[in-house]
Every structure is written in C-alpha cells, then in structure tokens.
C-alpha cells in the first residue's frame, strides 16, 4: 500500500441475517482515481457500497479512510468524513422542484452553501435551466445529474460512491453522465463506480475489480480487463 490510498477495504465479511453475502473482500482506492466495481446481478456490488457507507455492518475485517477506521461508525459520521453515496434508485424528491431538492440536500450540511449552489448550477447547466421544474418530470439523465448534485452538497465530498449511474438511461445520456463523472474526477473527486455496464465503467476507470458471488475474482488496471476478452466473457458475459 502506498501513501496515496484514500479508502481501504480490508478482508471484510458482510451478512444479511443468516445469509453470508461478502466474503473476505478487499479493495483499495487511490486518491484521485476512478475505480470500477463490476460483476453480474446479485454479486454483492450494492452491498459493498452499503458496507463502506456504514449501512450494512461488516462482521469481519476493517474499512479505513485516510488511515482512519470507519467501519464501526454511523452512516452520518462516514458522510462527514467525505464519503457520499448515490444509491441505484437515485433518491430525488419528485413533487419538489430542482431547487428545493438542492436546498434539502444543502440543509444537512454546514450552512453557508449559497456559493456552492451557484457552483452546482455552473457545473450542471441543465439543472440551472430547470430550477423551478418538478424533479419528477426530469428525464432519467437529468435526475441522475440532480442526484449527483445533491450528493455533492452537504459535507465536502472527496469520495463518491456511484451505484449504477447508467441504469435505465439511453446510450447518449449514458455518455453525458460519463462526461460528468470524468469532469468531477478531474476536479479532484475520487470515484468508486459500481456498474453492470462494464463497457462504460471500464472506459472511465483507472482500476477495476470484478465481484462474483461476494468475492473479488479479478483485479487489474481497467484497460487491461477491457481488452482481456476471455476475462470479459467469463466474468461479465460480454462477448
């Protein structure tokens, strides 16, 4: 491990009741990287994110951020340490406007967020144009943007956990979302990207892990996995 490790998941196990879901899972995320976690349905990708976020307890092993143990902390304490999670369901409030959604997210932060609002609107001009629009009437891509924007408000974020940001989006919208992820990363946000769309994830990522029934079965630079046809087919069913 070098000094650049931002998050380290070290030999964790996770259970839901009697079911053992994650087995001796380790992964490491360097500061500034985009790391992809790919794998088939039910492999345990979401559970890994929930474990990092403190939502599903780990029964063994440890998770550290910047060297500090976080795996026994409450989700809000983990959030206060710069980790933000965007669940698969995106969690925008339909029935509230874009602006109201952002205000609610900012409210949980440290106050004095007005500047950050403008920063968010500069970064997401599509949201700026739609400040007064009901979030329920946004397109899937716009809702994903709003979810990302919400995740960036509140406590300062240096690690973003994204769960299937491409899900349900048309291909050209997936490209838009990919561009946003790349831009955020260029601005210094480290990203753990969970995807079933392995092609999209591996194109964005520096490093990749493949999860299969709760265990890591492959890790390598993302480009190496993307060009390994045998691995792509056997782990991910991509021909």
Angstrom distance (rounded) from CA 7 to CA 52 = 9
Whichever of 85 and 121 has its CB closer to ligand ATP, that residue is 85
Number of residues in contact with ligand ATP, rule: CB under 6 A? 12
Query: Interaction with ligand ATP in 28-87: which residues (CB under 6 A)?
Result: 39, 41-47
Tokens coding 5 = 């490790």
Q: Which one, 43 or 138, has the nearer CB to ligand ATP?
A: 43
Structure tokens at 6: 């931002």
Q: Indicate the residue among 52 and 83 with the shorter CB distance to ligand ATP.
A: 52
Short-list 92, 201, 102, CA closest to 154:
102
Residue 158 contacts by C-beta under 8 Å, 6 or more apart in sequence? 6, 31, 82, 83, 188, 189, 190
Minimal distance in Å, beta carbon 208 to ligand ATP?
A: 15
Work out how close the CB of 90 gets to ligand ATP at its nearest, in angstroms, rounded to a whole number.
14
Choose which of 11, 16, 118, 125 interacts with ligand ATP (CB under 6 A): 16
Residue with tokens 């990749």: 208
Cβ 64 to ligand ATP shortest distance, Å: 21
CA distance 232 to 198: 9
Binding segment (CB under 6 A) for ligand ATP, from list 15-23, 185-193, 215-223, 224-232: 15-23
Residue closer to ligand ATP, measured from CB, 62 or 88: 88
* Smallest separation, CB 40 to ligand ATP (Å): 7
Q: Convert residues 188-227 into a mask of x (bound to ligand ATP by CB under 6 A) and - (unbound).
A: --------x-------------------------------
- Of 198 and 232, nearer to ligand ATP (C-beta) is 198
Residue 141 found at the interface with ligand ATP (CB under 6 A): no
In the complex with ligand ATP, the residue whose CB is nearer, 56 or 84, is: 56
Q: Report the interface residues with ligand ATP, using CB under 6 A.
A: 16, 19, 21, 39, 41-47, 196
């Amino acid at each position: 491990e070098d000094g650049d490790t931002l998050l380290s998941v070290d030999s964790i196990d996770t259970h839901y009741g009697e079911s053992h879901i994650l087995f001796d899972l380790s992964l490491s995320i360097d500061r500034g990287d985009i790391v992809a976690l790919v794998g088939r349905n039910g492999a345990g990708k979401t559970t890994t994110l929930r474990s990092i976020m403190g939502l599903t307890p780990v029964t063994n092993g440890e998770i550290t951020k910047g060297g500090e143990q976080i795996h026994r902390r409450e989700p809000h304490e983990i959030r206060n340490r710069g980790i933000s999670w965007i669940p698969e369901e995106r969690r925008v409030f339909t029935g509230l406007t874009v602006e109201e959604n952002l205000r609610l997210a900012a409210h949980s932060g440290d106050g004095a967020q007005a500047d950050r609002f403008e920063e968010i609107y500069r970064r997401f001009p599509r949201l700026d144009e739609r400040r007064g629009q009901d979030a329920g009437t946004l397109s899937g891509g716009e809702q994903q943007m709003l979810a990302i924007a919400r995740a960036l408000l509140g406590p300062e974020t240096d690690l973003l956990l994204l769960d299937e940001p491409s899900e349900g989006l048309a291909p050209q919208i997936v490209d838009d979302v990919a561009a946003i992820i790349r831009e955020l990363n260029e601005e210094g946000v480290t990203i753990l990207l969970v995807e079933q769309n392995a092609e999209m994830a591996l194109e964005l990522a520096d490093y990749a892990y493949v999860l299969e029934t709760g265990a890591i079965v492959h890790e390598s630079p993302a480009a190496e996995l993307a060009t390994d046809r045998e691995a792509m087919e056997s782990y991910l069913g991509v021909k």
